[in-house]
Amino acid sequence: MATADPAAREPHVPTALLDRLIEALDRPELLDLPAVLRLTSQSKSSLYRATSAGEFPAAVDTPSGKRWRRRDIAKWIERLT
């Protein structure tokens, strides 16, 4: 009885796709205040002032405090460029 090659039974996933999936898993979807300040180069007061004026994405309340959605911050940065 011949044994089947285990690699032949596993689906092939392109390396580039695997790299993107691993990178996405390593990045949190919700960012804390220090991460947002680093990404945007904003001061805390400027960030809160812009949020109050509707010019910056609103934070989400979580059990561990306010967090910002990564995709909202990315879209905000894209609009600046």
Count how many domains the chain has.
1
* Six-digit token string for 52: 């109050």
Which residues constitute the domain of residue 29?
17-80
Confidence label for 6 from pLDDT (cuts 50, 70 and 90): low
Confidence label for 61 from pLDDT (cuts 50, 70 and 90): very high
Confidence label for 63 from pLDDT (cuts 50, 70 and 90): very high
In contact, 38 and 70? CB cutoff 8 Å: no
58 CB contacts (<8 Å, ≥6 apart)? 51
In-domain check, residue 62: yes
In-domain check, residue 3: no
